[in-house]
């Protein structure tokens, strides 16, 4: 068997990928049952002799492409899933060909440089102080974890304790304050860091999911406060300015989980929500949500570079190359070997520019407001103030709302998930994709209204 030449193979892959992307606007978002049945064909023993790469690709495309969920299209509104700007897919393809290990400047000067540049751009875009350090990680989960590791380091080292060396055995006690609405990844990070997911002070929240400032306990220099920019259900923001002011006075650390909401800093229309965010000590956000770069792509930013570095840096004789003064990426990340995620972030930032980023955030939020208006005009209840890109809707009874979600998911015109908001089962709409158009929104509203009316009529019959 003749092996397919690499050039031919990659041309074939590009054509298949392009055909896939072109099919997405016209196909069902969820895979059909027939397509899913074909997944069984992949389930065979490892062959003794290898299969030619072209045939590998053919199987992947013919079985795999129809069994994807078309999250990259403009009518996917589940979780907080962004799409992929064409510039970022292209950058990702080239970066795959480079196959750089982004650990060090000497393993990849280009990856390290794109990280430096992107960090500077992000820091400017978000209005963060000079000297902020950052790292490119898998997602906001790992960004939250890295930021909280920096917080743990900073507070304990000020108390004379070297947590990286000695762990938490016998360490001075830290207090962690979170809101009742803190994202699960904050709690998971606390558990990974030995700070305990239940050993936290939980501050009550208001009807919009915002931390109630009047219930914030007194802070001190042993306290980490986690606030959020963008509640995963309502999209709302905790009162950062007042939390940060109190934390500054007390010597406490404020971490902002801004997985998608931090991008609101890119547009002046959101100033009332974002006020004070830049005063925090650390921030976590995602590239794969509102910035629309491919998975997996998260970013951690820490005000005092030394804190992130101290929490993450590890050395061995065989790794000590390069100039001591340079920023070596792996000294700021939990991983060692790592793909060059900065490539796509850089491509997105450069391709969009400040105006394009602001426009992307503004557009997704405008579409969210269109959803809210369109659905409430049809008599359905919107449960949140649509301040960003998230919409919570009830179609009537909990059963009917759940039935509408199931119907939409199997119909395949648009995709939304469910959640429970303040005790009520609701449907969540998250508009996070650059490709969503007003026509997508209207088509989706029609599908939702049709489903709700039909299911209501069936249940009343
Ligand atoms: C507020 C918030 N924090 C953290 C995360 C986790 O992000 P990731 O899945 O990228 O790790 C999410 C995901 O939606 C989120 O909305």
Atom in ligand 1 nearest the alpha carbon of residue 141: 11
The DSSP call for residue 171 is P
Q: What is the pLDDT of residue 324?
A: 65
- For residue 49, the CA-to-ligand 1 centroid distance in Å is 42
Q: Which residue among 71, 80, 233, 235 has the greatest number of ligand 1 atoms within 8 angstroms of its CB, and so is best to mutate?
A: 80
What percent of the chain is helix, strand and coil (3-state, nearest 5)? 50, 15, 40
Question: What pLDDT, on the 0 to 100 scale, is given for residue 202?
Answer: 98
Strands 390-394 and 417-421 turn out to be unpaired
Helices (H), 71-227: 86-98, 109-126, 140-158, 163-166, 184-192
Pocket test residue of 139, 179, 259, 417 for ligand 1, highest count of atoms within 8 A of CB: 259
Q: How far apart are CA 81 and CA 292, in angstroms?
A: 8
What pLDDT is stored for residue 314 in this prediction?
A: 84
Task: Take atom 12 of ligand 1 and give the residue whose Cα is closest.
Answer: 259
Q: How far is the CA of 92 from the centre of ligand 1 (A)?
A: 22
Which amino acids bring their CB within 6 angstroms of ligand 1? Answer: 79-80, 139-141, 183, 185, 228, 230, 232, 257, 259-260, 286, 298
Query: Structural domain boundaries of the chain?
Result: 91-348
**Is 91-348 a CATH 2.160.10.10 domain?**
no
Are 74 and 433 within 8 A, CB to CB? yes
Ligand 1 atom closest to the Cα of residue 230 is 1
Q: What was the pLDDT predicted at 326?
A: 79
User: Which one, of 328, 258, 268, lies nearest residue 107 by Cα?
Assistant: 328
Burial 97-123 (b: 16+ CB within 10 A, else e): eeebebbbbebbebbbebbbebbebbb
- Name which residue sits closest to atom 3 of ligand 1, judged by CA: 259
What pTM was computed for the model?
0.97
Task: Tell me what pLDDT residue 321 has.
Answer: 67
Interval between CA 285 and ligand 1 midpoint (Å): 8
What's residue 322's pLDDT?
Answer: 67
| Residue 189: predicted pLDDT | 98
Q: Which residue has the tokens 């207090």?
A: 175
Q: What dihedral do alpha carbons 230, 80, 137, 334 form, nearest 10°?
A: 70
Quick one: which atom of ligand 1 is closest to the CA of 231? 1
Tell me, rounded to whole angstroms, the distance of Cα 440 from its chain centroid.
22
Ligand 1 atom at shortest distance from the alpha carbon of 296: 10
Q: For residue 50, what are its two tokens?
A: 């290898």
Q: Which atom of ligand 1 is nearest to the CA of 261?
A: 1
- Kindly report the protein residue whose alpha carbon is nearest to atom 7 of ligand 1: 140
Instruction: Per-residue pLDDT tens, the chain, 461 aa: give them.
Output: 678 898 999 999 999 999 999 999 999 999 999 999 999 999 999 999 999 999 999 999 999 999 999 999 999 999 999 999 999 999 999 999 999 999 999 999 999 999 999 999 999 999 999 999 999 999 999 999 999 999 999 999 999 999 999 999 999 999 999 999 999 999 999 999 999 999 999 999 999 999 999 999 999 999 999 999 999 999 999 999 999 999 999 999 999 999 999 999 999 999 999 999 999 999 999 999 999 999 999 999 999 999 999 999 987 777 776 666 778 999 999 999 999 999 999 999 999 999 999 999 999 999 999 999 999 999 999 999 999 999 999 999 999 999 999 999 999 999 999 999 999 999 999 999 999 999 999 999 999 999 999 999 998 88
Task: Return the ligand 1 atom nearest residue 142 CA.
Answer: 11
**Residue 75 Cα, ligand 1 centroid: separation in angstroms?**
20
- Dist CA 441 CA 434 (whole Å): 13
Distance CA 364, CA 369 (A): 9
């Amino acid at each position: 068997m003749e092996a397919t030449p690499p050039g031919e193979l990659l041309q074939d892959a590009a054509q298949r990928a392009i055909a896939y992307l072109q099919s997405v606007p016209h196909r069902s978002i969820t895979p059909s049952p027939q397509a899913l049945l074909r997944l069984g064909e992949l389930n065979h023993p490892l062959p003794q002799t290898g299969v030619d790469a072209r045939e590998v690709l053919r199987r992947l495309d013919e079985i795999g492409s129809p069994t994807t969920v078309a999250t990259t299209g403009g009518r996917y509104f589940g979780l907080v899933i962004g799409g992929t700007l064409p510039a970022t897919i292209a950058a990702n393809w080239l970066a795959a060909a480079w196959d750089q290990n982004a650990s060090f400047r000497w393993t990849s000067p280009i990856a390290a440089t794109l990280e430096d540049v992107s960090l500077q751009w992000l820091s400017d875009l978000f209005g963060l102080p000079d000297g902020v350090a950052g790292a490119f990680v898998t997602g906001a989960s790992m960004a939250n974890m890295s930021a909280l590791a920096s917080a743990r380091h900073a507070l304990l080292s000020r108390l004379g304790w070297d947590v990286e060396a000695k762990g938490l055995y016998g360490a001075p006690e830290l207090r962690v304050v979170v809101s009742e609405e803190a994202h699960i990844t904050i709690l998971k990070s606390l558990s990974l860091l030995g700070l305990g997911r239940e050993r936290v002070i939980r501050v009550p929240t208001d009807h919009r999911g915002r931390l109630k400032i009047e219930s914030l306990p007194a802070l001190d220099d042993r306290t980490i406060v986690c606030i959020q920019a963008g509640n995963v259900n309502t999209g709302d923001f905790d009162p950062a300015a007042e939390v940060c002011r109190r934390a500054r006075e007390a010597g406490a650390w404020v971490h902002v989980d801004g997985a998608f909401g931090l991008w609101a800093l890119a547009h002046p229309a959101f100033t009332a929500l974002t006020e004070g965010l830049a005063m925090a000590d650390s921030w976590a956000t995602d590239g794969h949500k509102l910035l629309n770069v491919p998975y997996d792509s998260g970013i951690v930013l820490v005000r005092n570079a030394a804190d992130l570095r101290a929490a993450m840096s590890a050395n061995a004789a065989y790794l000590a190359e390069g100039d001591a003064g340079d920023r070596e990426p792996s000294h700021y990340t939990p991983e060692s070997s790592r793909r060059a995620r900065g490539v796509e972030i850089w491509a997105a930032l450069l391709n969009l520019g400040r105006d394009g980023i602001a426009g992307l955030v503004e557009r997704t939020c405008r579409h969210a407001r269109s959803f809210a208006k369109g659905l409430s005009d049809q008599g359905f209840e919107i449960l949140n103030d649509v301040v960003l890109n998230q919409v919570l809707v009830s179609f009537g009874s909990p059963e009917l709302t759940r039935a509408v979600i199931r119907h939409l998911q199997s119909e395949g015109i648009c995709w939304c998930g469910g959640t429970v908001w303040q005790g009520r089962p609701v449907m969540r709409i998250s508009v996070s994709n650059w490709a969503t158009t007003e026509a997508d929104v209207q088509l989706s509203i029609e599908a939702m209204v049709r489903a709700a009316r039909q299911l209501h009529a069936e249940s009343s019959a």
